Amino acid sequence: MTYLTKRELSWFKTLSEKNAISGQENEISSFLKSEFEYRQLPIVTDRLGSIFAVKKSRTPDPIKVMIMGHMDEIGFVVSKIESNGMVRILPIGGINPLTLTSQRMRIKTIQKTYVYGAIDATPPHLLGSGTPAIPRVQDVYLDVGLSSKEAVEQAGVRIGSMVTFDAAFHVLNNGQRIIGKAFDNRYSIVMGLTVLDALKNVDLPFDLYVGASVQEEIGLRGAQTMTHVIQPDFAIVLDCSPARDSSGNKDELGQLGGGVLLRYMDRSMVARPSLLAYQEKMAKKAKVPYQYFDSPGGTDAGAVHKSADGVMTLTHCIVARSIHSPSTILDTQDFLSSKKTLLTLLKDFSAKRFEQLQREDR
Ligand SMILES: [Zn+2]
């Protein structure tokens, strides 16, 4: 079995422990900016905070290929500070309230430091018959250990301050699996950098744009603006989808360790049959597992493929268990299978292939 390199593993830890809810992504965008600058690659951005590096081709008048992940994560913002110092929050992105009670949390202050606390929990013997078993996000109390509104404000907490799970990264099962928060979609940031490094000395017959959008979790907003900036001919969207295999049922779609997803349909896009077949062919060529997948959720592809007069768009996703929670579990073999397939595809791709794929479904 192959494992993640030390570098990939340390990127996973660093990126998972950074905090970047939709609209407050600068911890990730500044990380990407310095990684792109270190590689001396030109940088393109939109005005919302999305950031991409360009690997230019020597081919004259090349087509443009874009690999997009999203850098934002689900989380919360402070909505109110009570007179007794308790903090009230509202969700940013899809939150299951069952994941909240007793969780450790962090609030980013206006001084860009962190205040730590936990969501208040009720012991079972105090649960009355009228107590709702599942609280709503807006009903929970975040206790930061301070006893007045003034003290919380003094600490630098404001209405709108970012709140995230205080979740540490750990390696499981000798490196086969990892646990942490926000692998949806920080894995895509690791993937982007890994791909840029793997192709460092390869002259591709197209300009390759690699980077991350902002505000995916609240409606594919950065994908819309960034696609407008880049105007790609072909787009590949990376995202982390929910695994549905925890029961052990092998018939469920989305098996952890089952390899790259051939995502034929979701809420935001239906796949082009020619592209899906191409992706399958590339996974076979890379000799890695792959699995068909559909989802009631969506990805940035939903916005990308509808940009301008339409963009040929492929999703290239993997699954993880317990996404949108502090304890996401990802299988590193899925990451490596996805990486191999992606590199195989990029080395195969050209203007000629693009035109052939365009013709096939039309
Ligand atoms: Zn995602």
Looking only at Cα atoms, what is the longest distance across the chain? 73
Contact 190, 8 (CB under 8 A): yes
Residues 6+ apart with CB under 8 A from 353: none
Catalytic residue list: 216
Architecture of domain 6-73+181-360: 3-Layer(aba) Sandwich (3.40)
Q: What pLDDT is attached to residue 134? A: 80
Could you count the other beta carbons within 10 Å of the beta carbon of residue 207?
A: 19
Which parts of the chain sit beneath pLDDT 70? Answer: none
CA 73 to centroid of ligand 1, rounded, Å:
7
Taking Cα atoms as reference points, which of 337, 238, 332 lies closest to residue 283? 337
CA 215 to centroid of ligand 1, rounded, Å:
10
User: Dihedral of the CA atoms 251, 254, 260, 265 (nearest 10)?
Assistant: 100
Alpha helices in 316-362 (DSSP H): 332-348, 351-360
Note the pTM of the prediction, 2 decimals: 0.96
Please tell me if the domain spanning 6-73+181-360 has the same topology as the one spanning 75-165.
Answer: no
As a whole number of angstroms, the distance between CA 123 and CA 319 comes to 34
Consecutive H or E run containing 327 = none
CA 70 to centroid of ligand 1, rounded, Å:
7
Q: What pLDDT is attached to residue 324? A: 97
Query: Pairing between strand 177-180 and 87-92?
Result: unpaired
Contact 320, 183 (CB under 8 A): yes
Q: What pLDDT is attached to residue 130? A: 73
CA 72 to centroid of ligand 1, rounded, Å:
8
As a whole number of angstroms, the distance between CA 54 and CA 324 comes to 30
CA 68 to centroid of ligand 1, rounded, Å:
11
Burial of 37 (0-12, 13-18, 19+ CB in 10 A): exposed
Q: What pLDDT is attached to residue 51? A: 98
Burial of 58 (0-12, 13-18, 19+ CB in 10 A): exposed
Q: What pLDDT is attached to residue 362? A: 80
Angle 12-321-166 (CA atoms, 0-180°, nearest 5)?
55
Read off the DSSP letter of residue 354.
Answer: H
- 223: region left, alpha or beta (phi > 0 left; psi from -120 to 50 alpha): alpha
Alpha helices in 74-220 (DSSP H): 149-154, 183-198
Taking the domains of the chain in order of start, what are their residue ranges?
A: 6-73+181-360, 75-165
Token pair 């339409």 is found at 310
Residues 6+ apart with CB under 8 A from 61: none
Contact 65, 349 (CB under 8 A): yes
CATH of domain 75-165: 2.40.30.40
Contact 104, 118 (CB under 8 A): yes
